[in-house]
Amino acid sequence: MRELRCDVLVVGSGPAGLAAAYQARESGAGRVLVLERNDELGGILPQCIHNGFGVRIFSADLTGPEYAGRWIRRAREAGVEFFTRTMVLAIDQGLKVVAANSQLGLMEIQAKAIVLAMGCRERPRGALAIPGSRPAGIYTAGTAQRLVNMEGYMPGSRFVILGSGDIGMIMARRLTLEGAEVVAMVEILPYISGLRRNLVQCVLDYNIPLRLCTTVTDVLGAERVEAVVISRVDERWQPIPGTQEELQCDTLLLSVGLIPENELSRMAGVALDPVTGGPLVDERYATNVPGIYAAGNAVHVYDLVDDVTESALRAGHYAAEYALRGSAELSRPIPIRPGDNVRHVVPQAIHAESLRDGALPIQFRVRQPIEEAVHVQIKAGENVLASKRLRYVRPSEMITLELEAGLAERVARVEALQIHIAR
Amino acid sequence: MNAASYDCIIVGAGVVGSLIARALSRYRLRILLLDKASDVGEGTTKANTAIVHAGYDAKPGTLKAKLNVAGNRLFDQLCAELDVEFERCGTYVVGLGAEDWTTLQELYRRGQANGVSGLSLIDAAEMRRREPAVSDKTVGALYAATGGIVDPFGLCIGAAENAVLNGVKLALETEVTDFLREGQRIVGVVTNRGKFLGRWVIIAAGLWADDLLHKTGVDGFRITPRKGEYFVLDKVAADLVHSVLFPCPTPISKGILVTRTIHGNVMLGPNANDVASKEDLSTTAAGLNEVMAGALRLVPGLDPRMVIRTFAGLRAAGNTGDFRIEIPQGLYGLLVLAGIESPGLTAAPAIAEYVVEMLREAGLRLVERPDYNPLRQGIPRFSRLSRAEQEALIARDPRYGHVICRCETVTEGEIVAACHAPIPARTYDALKRRTRVGSGRCQGAFDTPLVIQIMARELGLSPLEITLKGGRSRFLLRETKEVSA
C-alpha cells in the first residue's frame, strides 16, 4: 500500500472542504491534501447553477459553480493538493486514513490533523416509508438536479415534489424552465421547510401549486410512476380519510430533509449529536477525537453557503494549529444547551478563553415557527449574555448569535449556557 | 419454421427453477431455462425474508418438512460452490408470554420429529444474554443452531450462471403463452419469442403456476398471492440484532421477525395478507404499521428512524398447505411445482434433487457429463476483501479503485464485471442485486447518475435506454434543451 503523509487531510472538496484546506495552508500547515470522490471539485456546488452564493463573503451574487471556482482558485494558489475520484475507505483514531483511487490504488495517509467535510445526503423515500409501488421515476431533488444540470437529461415530464426544502423549490423552477410541468409541491407541515426567498422566486413566481398540510399517501404505477395520491393530514401528521386526491405524474421528487454524512466520523470514534446527526464540536470545530475537526453540512445542515465557508475557515485554522503544535491546553468545556423551542445548537460546547481571541458565532434552529417579534438570547442561569430581537423565528432559518469577545471571564465562571427564546 | 428442441424446458428462473436447471446441467441434456422477466429471480426470489430455516415449522411427514430439512443440509456446500454469501448464525423463536412456552415445546417436538439437529430450548436469561435487545417480556426461546441467513438473489443468480456455464440456454423476457401438445403429451411451449419443443416441460413459475396449468387443462391447483411487507434498516442497527428472531408462529405465517441480513442490515417483516393481484407489490400504510408494531414487540429498542427502505413480496401460497411437486395425472411430459411458499428458499436445493429423481423415475435418461463444473465464481466484492486483496485487484484492473457507491463501497470494476457476467446485469435493479449498488443508506441518490453512464457505456446503449427494471421503467425521458413532446 502506498504510504503518504500530510499535515492536514480534508475529506471532501465542497465549500467546507475547500475553505478548510485553504485556511489550513494560510495558517501555516505544510502539506494539505483534499480527497474528493467525484471527478470534479466543489462537492454539490457544480450542480447548483442558480444564484445566491457568496453574498456575504464576496459581496457578489454568484452561482454555485462560480462560488466553487473562486475557492478552488484560492485553495490552489495557497498550495493545497487535490486528489479527485478518490474515496476514503477508513479513518482511525491515530489519524490514519485509507483511501483508494484508480491511479494510486490503495493509499495509507498519516495525517497530523483531519477535517471531516463530507457534507450531507438527502433523505430517501424509504426513510419516510411512503406506501405504494416502487417504480422508476422517484428521485431525490438533488439527484434530479445533477441529472438535469450536469448530465443534461430530463428524468421526467410531469413532476410532483414532496417536501419544500430548498433544493426541491429550486428544482421546481429549474424543471419548469426546462419545459416540464410541476403539478404540485406538497408539504406535510403547515409551513415550508426551505427559505422564504426560494418560495417566492422559485414556486410562487412560477405559479406552482403549493399544498401545505398534505402528503403523498400512495404511489401508483408498476414500471414508471403513473400517479401519486396525496392526502391532507391532521395536526398529528396522520392522513385524513376522504381527502385523497390522485395526481397524474411520471415523476416524484423528494425534498424531505438532509442528513449529515458521518459514516467515516463514526468509524473514527467521533461522538455524534443525536439531534443534528453531526459531530459534537466545540468553538474550534474540534470533535472528541484529538486532531479530528469537522465543518460544514457534515456538522449540521446550513441554509447558506457563506455560513458553511465560515465554519470551515475556523475548522481549517484550528486543524493547522493542531498539526503544527499538537493539543492546546484548554480549560473546562462549557456546554451550550438548547432551551424551549430550540432544536439544536452548534457548537455544543465552548472554551471560555477562546472569547479572548474574538467573538464566537453560536448557531441554532427553532423547533416551531413564531410569527411575531421575539428575543433570542444566550443565558447563563438568569443572566443574559447575548440577545437580539427578531421579527419572527422559523425552523427553516438558522439563527446566529454572537458571544462577544469581552465575555471570557464571565463565561469562565458559569456551569453552562442556554439558548432561550423570549416572547 | 423449425422450433428449437430441448430435453427439458424449465419455465421460471427463480431460485427453484434455476437450481433445477443447475441440477440437470450435470447430465447430457439440452436444457432451456426461460423467464418472462428481464432478469432471473424477479419473482418471489427477490423479495422474501432470506432465511435458511432449520425445519421445525412444517408438519412432520409433509413434503415441506422433508425438503426443508434436506435443503438446509445442502447449503454449506452449495453456497461454497456457487460463491454465494451464507451464514449459519442460528435462529430463535422467542416466547413473549407464558402461553408461548407450549408453542415452543411443540415446535421443539416437531423439529425432533422432522429430524432437525441442533435444537434447544433456552430460558429467558440465556436469550437476553445472547441477544440483549430482545424484549424483557421474553420467557425463553427455541434456538436452532442450523438456521441461517443467505443472499437469496445471489443464490438464484449463482445457480443460473452455473447452469449457463454448464450449457443451459437461458431465455429472458420470454413468456409462455401456451403449450404444445400431442394427445396427452406436452411437447413444448409457445412463447412471445416463438415455439420451443421439449420432451419435458417443468413449471417452476411460482405465483403463476396455476395460471399456466390451466392452459394445459389441469385443474385443482390454486395459488394465492400472500403479501408480506418489510422494512430494511441502516447497517448501524445491526449493533442491536445479531441473528434471526422469530415470534411464535401463527396459523398462516411464521410471524413478523427481526433479522440481521447477510449484507449487514436489519430487516423487519413480513406480515401476511392475501391480495387479489399477483402483481401487487405495493406497500401499504396499514401493513407497514403492523410490521413495525410487530417488530417492536420483539425488539423494543429498534429505532424507526433507521429505516432506509420498505418493500413487499408475494408468497406463492398453495391450496393444500404443502409443496406440490407432481407429474399431473393423465398428462405426460409435464412436471409441476406449486405452492412453493416458505420455506421454499431453504428447500430449493433439495427440491432440485427431488425433481431430478422424479424425472429419472419417469424415464428421463441421465448420463453425467464429464465436463460438468459445479463451481461458479461471482464477481469480486471489493468491500469484502482484505486490503491486500483490494490492492491486488486494483493493480489488475484500476477500475476497482474507483468507488461509485459510497454507502456500500461498490467500485466501477464490479459494475463493469456485472455488465459482462455470464448473465449480464441489464437493469439497475439487476445490478443492485449483483453488486449492492444503491442498496445502502442513500438508496442510490449519489450513484444513480454515475451508474447510468457506466451501464450505458458497457452495454452499448444510450443513457436514455437504461431502465430500473426493464420494460417502461426508464430513468431518463429526454435530453435537456429538447422541445418537449
Name the grid cell of B475.
430513468
One domain, residues B309 and B298: yes
- Give dist(CA B170, CA B157) in Å, integer: 12
One domain, residues B248 and B177: no
The answer to whether residue B470 is domain-embedded is: no
One domain, residues B354 and B293: no
- Give dist(CA B309, CA A224) in Å, integer: 18
CA dist A242 → A185, A226, A239 (Å): 20, 21, 9
- Write down the pLDDT at residue B250: 77
The answer to whether residue B69 is domain-embedded is: yes
B51-110 pLDDT, tens per residue?
999 999 999 999 999 999 999 999 999 999 999 999 999 999 999 999 899 999 999 999
Q: What is the dihedral sign for C-alpha A48, A49, A53, A54?
A: positive
The answer to whether residue B481 is domain-embedded is: no
The 3-state DSSP class for residue A121 equals strand
- Give dist(CA B438, CA B451) in Å, integer: 9
Q: How crowded is residue A30: how many other Cβ atoms within 10 Å of its Cβ?
A: 15
- Give dist(CA B42, CA A306) in Å, integer: 48
CATH 2.60.40 fits A332-423, yes or no: yes
- Write down the pLDDT at residue B218: 87
CATH of the domain at B3: 3.50.50.60
The answer to whether residue B91 is domain-embedded is: yes
**Chain A CB contacts of B465 below 8 Å:** none
- Write down the pLDDT at residue B186: 97
Closest-CA residue of chain A to B393: A105
Q: pLDDT under 50 in chain A at which residues?
A: none
Query: Is the preceding peptide bond at A335 cis, omega within 30 degrees of 0?
Result: no
Interchain CB contacts (distance < 8 Å): A and B: 155
One domain, residues B417 and B435: yes
Tell me the residue length of chain B.
485
Q: How crowded is residue B459: how many other Cβ atoms within 10 Å of its Cβ?
A: 16
User: With a CB-CB cutoff of 8 Å, which residues 381-400 of chain B face chain A?
Assistant: 387, 390-391, 394-395, 398-399
B53 is a catalytic site residue: yes
- Write down the pLDDT at residue A125: 87
How many domains is chain B partitioned into structurally?
3
- Give dist(CA A386, CA A407) in Å, integer: 10
- Write down the pLDDT at residue B422: 98
CB contact under 8 A, B478 and A153: yes
- Write down the pLDDT at residue B131: 97
Closest-CA residue of chain B to A134: B282
- Give dist(CA B448, CA A263) in Å, integer: 20
Closest-CA residue of chain A to B285: A131
- Give dist(CA A160, CA A51) in Å, integer: 24
CB contact under 8 A, B310 and A126: yes
- Write down the pLDDT at residue A79: 98
CB B283 within 8 A of CB B313: no
CB contact under 8 A, B469 and A101: no
CB contact under 8 A, B394 and A106: yes
Mean pLDDT, chain A, integer = 96
CATH of the domain at B109: 3.30.9.10
CB B24 within 8 A of CB B32: no
- Give dist(CA B232, CA B241) in Å, integer: 13
- Give dist(CA A18, CA A71) in Å, integer: 6
- Give dist(CA B316, CA B206) in Å, integer: 6
One domain, residues B191 and B284: no
- Give dist(CA A268, CA A263) in Å, integer: 9
Place of cell 432470506: B50
Tell me which of A97, A182, A223, A270 to substitute to probe the interface with B (most B C-beta atoms closer than 10 Å). Answer: A223
**Chain A CB contacts of B287 below 8 Å:** 131
The 3-state DSSP class for residue A128 equals helix
One domain, residues B341 and B294: no
Quick one: pLDDT band at residue B481, thresholds 50, 70, 90? confident
Give one DSSP letter per residue of A132-191, joined into a string: B---B-EEEHHHHHHIIIII-EES-SEEEEES--HHHHHHHHHHHHTT-EEEEEE-SSSS
Q: Looking at the DSSP assignment, which residues form a beta bridge with residue A159? A: A182, A251
Which ranges in chain A are annotated with CATH 2.60.40?
332-423
Instruction: Please give, one letter per residue, the 3-state secondary structure of chain B.
Output: CCCEEEEEEEECCCHHHHHHHHHHCCECCCEEEECCCCCCCCCHHHCCCCEECCCCCCCCCCHHHHHHHHHHHHHHHHHHHHCCCEECCCEEEEECCCCHHHHHHHHHHHHHHHCCCCEEEEEHHHHHHHCCCCCCCCCEEEEECCCEEECHHHHHHHHHHHHHHCCCEEECCCCEEEEEEECCEEEEEEECCEEEEEEEEEECCHHHHHHHHHHHCCCCCCCEEEEEEEEEECHHHHHCCCCEEECCCCCCCCCCEEEECCCCCEEEECCCEECCCCCCCCECHHHHHHHHHHHHHHCCCCCHHHEEEEEEEEEEECCCCCCEEECCCCCECEEEEECCCCCHHHHHHHHHHHHHHHHHHCCCCCCECCCCCCCCCCCCCHHHCCHHHHHHHHHHCHHHHCEEECCCCEEHHHHHHHHCCCCCCCCHHHHHHHHCCCCCCCCCCCCHHHHHHHHHHHHCCCHHHCECCCCCCECCCEECCCCCC
Residue B483 pLDDT > 80, yes or no? no
Burial of A226 (0-12, 13-18, 19+ CB in 10 A): middle
Name the grid cell of A367.
423547533
The answer to whether residue B5 is domain-embedded is: yes
Q: Which residues contact B220 (CB under 8 A, 6 or more apart)?
A: none
CB A365 within 8 A of CB A338: no
- Give dist(CA B166, CA B162) in Å, integer: 6
- Give dist(CA B254, CA B226) in Å, integer: 13
CA geometry: angle at A238 spanning A233 and A243, to 5°?
Answer: 45
For B149, phi then psi, to 5°, come to -125, 150
The answer to whether residue B473 is domain-embedded is: no
One domain, residues B50 and B76: yes
CA geometry: angle at A48 spanning A183 and A68, to 5°?
Answer: 175
B181-190 pLDDT, tens per residue?
999 999 999 9
Tell me the residue length of chain A.
423
CB B362 within 8 A of CB B209: no
**Chain A CB contacts of B476 below 8 Å:** 147, 153-155
- Write down the pLDDT at residue B432: 98
On whether any CB of chain A is under 8 Å from the CB of B239, the answer is no
Domain holding B236, by residue range, is 87-148+224-317
- Write down the pLDDT at residue A136: 98
Class of A1-122+257-328 in CATH: alpha beta
CATH of the domain at B393: 1.10.10
Name the grid cell of A335.
456546554
Q: Under CATH, domain A124-256 is a member of which superfamily?
A: FAD/NAD(P)-binding domain (3.50.50.60)
- Write down the pLDDT at residue B484: 53
- Give dist(CA A157, CA A172) in Å, integer: 12
Tell me which of A89, A101, A102, A270 to substitute to probe the interface with B (most B C-beta atoms closer than 10 Å). Answer: A102
- Give dist(CA A293, CA A274) in Å, integer: 18
Nearest alpha-carbon partner for B269 in B303, B312, B321: B312
Q: What is the dihedral sign for C-alpha B429, B434, B437, B440?
A: positive
CB contact under 8 A, A105 and B476: no
The answer to whether residue B269 is domain-embedded is: yes
**Chain A CB contacts of B483 below 8 Å:** 179
User: With a CB-CB cutoff of 8 Å, which residues 439-468 of chain B face chain A?
Assistant: 441-446, 448-449, 452-453, 463-464, 467-468
One domain, residues B312 and B249: yes
Q: How crowded is residue B112: how many other Cβ atoms within 10 Å of its Cβ?
A: 13
Strand pairing of B185-191 and A2-11?
Answer: unpaired
**Looking at B278, B302, B317, which one is the last position of a domain?**
B317
Which ranges in chain A are annotated with CATH 3.50.50.60?
1-122+257-328, 124-256
CA dist A283 → A280, A288, B172 (Å): 10, 12, 60
Place of cell 438532509: A258
CA dist A74 → A22, A68, A309 (Å): 7, 10, 13
Minimal C-alpha gap between B306 and chain A (Å)? 7
Mean pLDDT, chain B, integer = 96
